Amino acid sequence: MSKKEQLIKDIQQLLNSYENIQPTTINPNLLEFMDEDTLISIIGSLLDQKETHVQADSEWLEQFKQDKNS
């Protein structure tokens, strides 16, 4: 497997790591024209979005705990 193919596979796995979301499949031919730096940038963006999502969930849970203990 080439590095590009692995990056595309990583993008697909990140997209499918969210709960309650329909599985995503990516036709590798659609991303094949992108260079490795662009694919790595996409992975970085997906990781940032995931981190923001997790942080928002944690903040909501903390707020819920505070409200419940009041």
For the chain, list residues with pLDDT below 70.
68-70
Give the pLDDT of residue 18. Answer: 73
Contact indicator for 3, 40 with CB cutoff of 8 Å: no
pLDDT of residue 36: 92
Q: Residue 25 carries which side chain, given as an amino acid letter?
A: T
The structure tokens listed for 19 are 């709960």
Rg, the chain, Cα only: 17
- pTM (predicted TM-score): 0.67
